[in-house]
Structures are given as C-alpha cells and as structure tokens.
Amino acid sequence: MSANNLDRLAARTAQEIVQNLTTEEAGKLENLATKALGVLQENGVYAGMLFLYSRSEREKAYAKNIREALLKTLAQSELNSLHLSLPADKDKSNWLHVSDHLNTMICGELDTLLLIKQLWEQTLIYTRYSAKARG
C-alpha cells in the first residue's frame, strides 16, 4: 500500500471522527486523541485499543468514536487486500471480542501490525489537528 493511500485514508477517517463536534467536544476529543496516540506509539496497537476501551464515563463516548473509526480502517481501501475484517457490530463494544480479533488478524503478522500502527498513528495525528481546528 502506498504512503499516499495511507495518508488519504487517515485524513478521511480523522474527518469522520471529528465531524459534528461542538467546540467543547472538539477540545475533549483532541485531548483523548493525544493520549491515545502516546499509548499507541509507546506500547503498540493492542495497548492503544485497550486504552480506548478502558476510558472512564467522561471520555467513553469520544473513545468509542475513535476506536470504531480505527477498527473501520481495517476493512477499508487497500487494506482489504490483506484480508482484514471488522469484528461483528455486536462485538465491537466487547473488549474480549476485539482483543481476540486483534490477536488473530493483526498482532501475529509483523508487516501487517506495523502497517496498521502507522495508519492509526497518522489518523490520530490528523484527528488531533482537525479537532484543534474545530475548537
């Protein structure tokens, strides 16, 4: 997959995450995206998703928005050629199902893992800047 296509997918996903936010919501989302990016960069894909599932009630809606958008990227664009799929809709809210999905589909393949990490990092960076621009 070319870097240009990854960048386009990251930008489109970030725009989906921040659409329809108020100024106050944009600030909260920016803060959460910054924290999630730090976890993803320091600890990896699995830890980044676990972080988004572990948020408190105050951040839960923003975390759900981010994690669902990140998971959606697995089935979009040229990533389809990697035969990645989303957890079933009913399973997306359950960490155990997503955890199993990540371990099975992503974490076992180093090239895929690094590609997804790069895509998710770029998406969170664009989400931060998009939220900041909205606020």
- In angstroms, how far is the first alpha carbon of the chain from the final one? 33
Residue 112's pLDDT is: 81
Residue 81's pLDDT is: 54
Query: 39 lies in which domain range?
Result: 3-134
Inter-axis angle of helices 45-53 and 110-134, nearest 10: 50
pTM (2 d.p.): 0.85
Whether 18 and 134 have beta carbons less than 8 Å apart is answered as: yes
Long-range pairs, 86-92, Cβ under 8 A, ≥24: 92/68
Segment 3-38, tens digit of pLDDT: 668 899 999 999 999 998 999 999 999 999 999 999
Residue 74's pLDDT is: 79
**Which tokens sit at 36?**
């999630």
Residue predicted with more confidence, 98 or 39: 39
Segment 43-74, tens digit of pLDDT: 999 999 999 999 999 999 999 999 989 988 87
Total structural domains in the chain?
A: 1
Residue 91: pLDDT above 60? no
Residue 84: pLDDT above 80? no
Q: What CATH number corresponds to the domain at position 9?
A: 1.10.520.30
Distance CA 134, CA 66 (A): 16
Distance CA 23, CA 75 (A): 30
Segment 95-112, tens digit of pLDDT: 776 777 677 767 677 888
CA 12 to each of CA 35, 46, 105, 122, 130: distance values in angstroms, whole numbers, following the listed order: 21, 23, 23, 11, 11
Residue 131's pLDDT is: 96
